[in-house]
Structure 1
Amino acid sequence: MEEENLGQPLLKKRYYQNCPGCKVDRAKELGTDVSIRNISYIWMTVLCGTLPIASLFPFVYFMVKDFNVAESEEDISAYAGYVGSSFMLGRSLTSILWGIMSDRYGRKPVIIIGVMTVVVFNTLFGLSTNLWMAISMRFFLGSLNGLLGPVKAYTTEIFIEEKQALGLSSVVAAWGVGLVIGPALGGYLAQPTLKYPHLFPKDSFWDKFPYFLPCFVISVFAFVVAIACIWLPETLHYHNGSKESNDNVEAAEVDSSEIKKDKSIFLNWPLMSSIIVYCVFSLHDIAYQEVFSLWAVSPRRLGGLNFTTNDVGNVMAISGFAMMIYQLALYPSLQKACGPVNLARITGALSIPLLQSYPFMTLLSGSTLYLVLNIASILRYLMFETISTGLFLLQNRAVEQHQRGAANGFAMTAMSAFKIIGPAGGGALLAWSQKRLSASFLPGTHVVFLVLNIVEGVGVILMFKPFLGEKKEKPMEQLQ
């Protein structure tokens, strides 16, 4: 028997025996419990996509310095920005292509290819011996790693509708934690012969490649995830040798007049406006991460904090732990009370004075500096997570399920394009600011954080009407 008519008669759903998507849909209909296995897959794959993005920030300053390409110490930050931007350049060029491939060949193969890309090119990046090799490996890592977009679409397809918000929240939580834990790993594990000489002796392999260890640890994790993804359920539908979407499976449920009303995603203003706002905040976020790490490890005479990579790793680890607790325990209640958009507006406005206080931390030292910096870092990451989660929920609510793959692919491309500017622009701006420490107006890093706040301010303004649109919910009688 090729197909089975199961489920409630009014829904007229058809399940094909050899279709992986039908198996997923049937499992969702038979039970409403959230699968811990599915959430684990989401966390593992998202971490594989995010850990390499920012893991280099604590040590890229020292890596570029070891390459001996900078004419002066002030120029190191600019070259470090090029290394950071190369990943986003690669991802911006291929995100739509990977989204199309996931629609055609399935979410699972694209996700596995993305994870294996981390294994190969993140390892090679740790073995870089010159600036161009480092930039090339980061570029290939970004261009061949197209898993984040398909994971977002996969998340909406693997959970029942009532649990999709939890699934999307898991994506955002894992993504945010990865962007914090990544730098923590980079900070703890870079230059191991200096930090752990009893385990990694001088003149050994680890001394020749001092930045390989954090990359290797992330690559080993990715290899384990790649093996685990063999059992990843596929959500794409295969019927009679052809590939169909969820919407085609349930075509009997959808009135043909409804389909004709679907607009192009580019004409969907609630979607496009939320993507534009998200791109502005993404630019701000990646620039902040680049600037913060470079500023923290810069010497005091250049307006920095003279931190070690371990110090930066400690700050990142504490922020990541706090963000995990916040996302899982506090955010749902706050979001329910204020709404995702209003909460994002409030936190965006509060983050501006917080960020402008950073340059004044150079006046502190010792335990006071560590305490103040950790509090500021925790608040800043919690605020960004609040903003990004709200906008991400807004994007996915602005389109129907059959358009979410294309919407997420375009969002990833646009976000990556904006993030190309962040590391290069932030590094160049910091390098320029370190040459004007004695300026009478906004000396040193004061001008850097002012520029970051201008970007943040633009994002906050765009979150208000008439720019930001919200999808109008259908009346309940139309949904019944």
Structure 2
Amino acid sequence: MPPEAPRTSGILADHTSDDDDVDPESAPLLATSPRKPTPLPLRPILILTTMRLAEPINFTIIFPFVNDLVSTLLPSVPASSIGFYSGLIESLFSLSQTLTILFWGRLSDRIGRKPVLLTGLAGVAVSAILFGFGQSFAWVVAARAMAGATNGNVAIVKSVMAELTDESNQARAFGLLPLTWTVGCLVGPLLGGFLSRPAEKYPGWFGGEGWVGWGGVWERYPFLLPCVVSSAITLGSIGLGVVALEETLPAIVERKKWEKEQKEQRRQRQGGDVVGDDAHQGYGSTNQTHSAPPSSSPPDDAATCEPHPTASIRELLVIPQIQKVMISYSFLALIAVALDAVFVLFLYEPISLGGVGFTSSSTGLLLSVNGLGGALVQLFLFPPLQQHYGTLRVYQISMMAFPISVILLPLANGIARLGASSSESSDWYTYAVWTCLLVSTAIKTIGGMAFASNMILVNQCSTLTRGTALGTLNSLAQMASSVSRTAGPYFANTLFAFSVTRNLLGGQLVWLVLGVIGLVGPVVTLLIENLERPTRGARSRR
């Protein structure tokens, strides 16, 4: 019987190191060079990130036109109430995903990652088309809920990434996931903004008599075109996954390996050609340099056709390490999404109401700087820091960035108030406000490393469980995040309005509350145990 697949990150990386078997106490004291990072499996990671790109595009493509859509579907609703209905549509994706993501994660631990990923993408594609054809508010609400309910891919993608990498290269790999989300969040709003109401914007092409007017379909369904484009992108991702994505669930990979070995043994007994030990294997292989002889008995699940055993949710949640990682992630997601929501409101509101009164162009510029900075941090700063200091230390430090960034926002409003009341030139005050906001944004982008760090910490927790649990663990983490993503924006924006209208702490109560919330996560991280093995350099200093 082939050995049971270990439940650690990097289980499917085709690289091993003799350092893994070295006793830390017997390691040479003068050995100071760290383990050389394993090269990233670029092909499967490129396939995975391409498939991942479809979700943020679908999630954000409705943002530019959702208010217009609501006013069209509900003409009797006053303009002051449009935001409530559009907010309901926007939040339904995260809410419905929260309710179903655990099911998809546990299913992927039983039947494999690939079928669950493809099912999720199919749900996204179908729901996008249904959303575009919506002619009633109930219809678009149901379509949006379907998109979230059928899609648990964000947790499954993290599981696949963990199974493709090991401790030496996972920082570079996991840093690509937030970058992929950022790119999708840039592409989605652009498509939604430029392609909505195409018959009015591009009548020569999409009008009733246009080249692709198709009998006025774009006039009857003015928001269908961006949804069709989003669905087409998703269908392309499905095709790529069907053709090129290989299964990475260790139990299935081990079974396929055993079946291949048995087929080869039968061929040899029948006098067939012998295939060498170095025969090509896909990236889903767990083949090692010194493998055991092929077994004549199958793995347990291959023989009985039973699903690979998985750890129950209760078994996972009673483990203290998992509790601390999940709680810290909940507060990380809450402070991050709350700051994102209230920051846009803070930039828009006039100075007298606690904001800075930025124009839409200035707001767009600052948000673009935030997105670009976050991408650069994930690509070039996080991997070397994680390698040098370890995942947990980077997680603890980057979590502190969020409450620190909050401090500069009321300061920016205070400077703007001074400038507004001053009879002198306001240029100095303008530069000072921009400096505060740019520094706050830069600090917050440093905090973005906490998300990639948490992904690694969650995957490390799988080594503490009985049976397969990686998909379930990532689903639990994403569930905690989705709850925060659903409640955070409403909570933060309501608190901002409440602080200003009641003049609580001079209208600055919102920043005090967010700062305190932002400190809870870093405190919890101090209780998390470091599961990473010490590097050689660390052993040499003992």
2:504 partner SS: coil
Residue in 1 that maps onto 2:234: 222
- Name the stretch that deviates more: 336-345 or 113-122: 336-345
State the alpha-carbon separation in 1 of the partners of residues 485 and 161 from structure 2. 24
User: Against the structure 1 CA distance between its residues 78 and 240, is the aligned structure 2 distance closer, same or farther, given a 3 Å change threshold?
Assistant: closer
Q: Answer whether contact 2:15 2:38 (CA < 8 A) is retained.
A: yes
Please identify, of 344-353 and 218-227, the stretch whose mean Cα deviation from structure 2 is larger.
344-353
Find out whether 1:379 has 2:433 as its counterpart. no
For 2:93, which of 79, 87, 92 is the aligned residue?
87
SS at match of 1:39: helix
1:456 maps to 518
Asked if residue 40 in structure 1 is aligned to residue 37 in structure 2, the reply is no
CA displacement at 1:143 relative to structure 2:
0.7
User: Which residue does the alignment assign to 1:232?
Assistant: 245
Instruction: Please tell me whether residue 333 in structure 1 is matched to residue 384 in structure 2.
Output: yes
Question: Which runs of structure 2 are paired with 1:130-145 in the superposition (5 Å)?
Answer: 130-145=136-151
Pairing 1:394–2:454 present: no
| Aligned-pair CA distance for 1:412 | 1.7
Q: Which amino acid aligns with 1:266?
A: L
Contact 1:80–1:424, Cα closer than 8 Å, also in 2: no
Offset of residue 48 of structure 1: 2.0
Q: Which residue of 2 aligns with 1:410?
A: 476
Determine the C-alpha separation between the residues in 2 that align with 1:300 and 1:220: 44
TM-aligned CA distance change 1:47 to 1:147, over 3 Å: same
Q: Measure how far apart 1:142 and its partner are.
A: 0.7
CA-CA distance at 1:201 after TM superposition: 5.8
In structure 2, the residue corresponding to 1:455 is in which secondary structure? helix
Deviations 1:120-154 (A, max 9, x none): 11233344344333322221111101111111111
Shift in Å, 1:29: 6.2
Question: How many pairs were matched up?
Answer: 443
Structure 2 counterpart of 1:162? 168
Stretch of structure 1 that moved more, 69-78 or 42-51: 69-78
1:43 Cα deviation from its structure 2 partner: 1.4
Do 2:64 and 2:193's aligned partners in 1 also have CA atoms closer than 8 Å?
Answer: yes
Task: Output the CA distance in 2 between the equivalents of 1:191 and 1:372.
Answer: 39
Correspondence for 2:374 = 323
The letter for the 1-side match of 2:238 is A
The residue number in structure 2 matching 1:20 is none
Amino acid at match of 1:331: F
Matching residue's letter, 1:350: I
Q: 2 CA distance for matches of 1:62 and 1:291? A: 22
- Is contact 1:181-1:316 (8 Å) kept? no
Q: Normalised by the size of structure 2, how large is the TM-score? A: 0.66
Task: Go from structure 1 to structure 2 and tell me whether the alpha carbon gap of 1:186 and 1:381 turns closer, same or farther (over 3 Å shift).
Answer: farther
Counterpart Cα distance in 2 of 1:295 and 1:62: 23
Q: Tell me how far 1:208 sits from its aligned partner.
A: 5.4
Within 2, Cα distance between the matches of 1:185 and 1:297?
23
Mean Cα displacement is larger for which, 60-69 or 129-138? 60-69
Bigger shift: 182-191 or 148-157?
A: 182-191
Supply the distance in 2 between the matched residues of 1:41 and 1:359 (Cα, whole angstroms). 45
Instruction: Identify if the C-alpha distance between structure 1 residues 84 and 447 changes in structure 2 by more than 3 Å, giving closer, same or farther.
Output: farther
CA deviation map 1:45-68 (0-9, x unaligned): 222233333444444344434444
Quickly say closer, same or farther: Cα 1:68–1:463, change in 2 above 3 A: same
Maintained 8 Å contact 1:323/1:378: no
Report the equivalent of 2:56: 50
Per-residue deviation, 1:106: 1.2
1:286 to 337, 351, 359: 337
Cα RMSD over matched residues?
4.8
1-structure distance, mates of 2:219, 2:512: 39
Return 140-149 or 367-376, whichever deviates more. Answer: 367-376
Larger displacement relative to structure 2 (226-235 or 48-57): 48-57
Name the counterpart of 1:6. none
The alpha-carbon deviation at position 375 of structure 1 amounts to: 3.4
Query: Which position in structure 1 is the counterpart of 2:70?
Result: 64
CA distance in 2, matches of 1:457, 1:45: 35
Structure 1 residue 26 displacement after superposition: 8.6
Identical counterparts, % of pairs: 25
**Offset of 1:225 from its aligned partner?**
0.9
Counterpart for residue 327 of structure 2: 276
Query: Is residue 2:398 matched to residue 1:349?
Result: no
SS of match in other structure, 1:128: coil
- Specify whether residues 273 and 394 from structure 1 end up closer, same or farther in structure 2 by C-alpha distance, changes over 3 A only: same
Change (3 A) 1:472 1:240: closer
- Give 1:457's aligned amino acid: L
Q: Which amino acid aligns with 1:382?
A: T
5+ unaligned residues in a row in structure 1: which ranges?
A: 4-11, 16-23, 253-258
Moved more, 369-378 or 274-283: 369-378
Supply the distance in 2 between the matched residues of 1:360 and 1:36 (Cα, whole angstroms): 49
CA drift at 1:156: 1.5
* Letter in structure 2 aligned against 1:137: A
CA contact 1:112–1:226 (8 Å) conserved in 2: yes
Which residue does 1:255 correspond to in 2? none
The secondary structure found in structure 1 opposite 2:448 is helix
Task: For 1:300 and 1:192, locate their aligned partners in 2 and report how far apart those are by CA, in whole Å.
Answer: 37
Q: 1:267 to 1:108 in 2, by over 3 A?
A: same
- CA drift of 1:94 comes to 0.9
Deviations, residues 405-430 of structure 1 (Å, cap 9, x unaligned)? 22112112222233221244456556
State whether residues 178 and 452 of structure 2, in contact with CA within 8 Å, keep that contact through their aligned partners in structure 1: yes
Contact 1:99/1:150 (<8 A) preserved: yes
Deviation at 1:240, TM superposition (A): 8.2
**Equivalences for 1:434-449 in 2 at 5 Å?**
439-441=502-504
Query: Equivalents in 2 of 1:389, 1:106: separation in Å?
Result: 24
- The one-letter amino acid of 2:323's match is M
Tell me, in whole angstroms, the C-alpha distance in 2 between the residues paired with 1:44 and 1:356: 40
User: Cα deviation per residue 1:202-238 (whole Å; 9 max; x = unaligned)?
Assistant: 9965565554444433322211111110120111316
Distance 2:411 2:123 in 1: 39
Whether the 8 Å CA contact 1:69–1:131 is kept in 2: the answer is no
Q: Give secondary structure in 2 for the equivalent of 1:34.
A: coil
Pick which of 314-323 and 354-363 moved more: 354-363
Provide the rounded CA distance (Å) in 2 between the counterparts of 1:199 and 1:373: 46
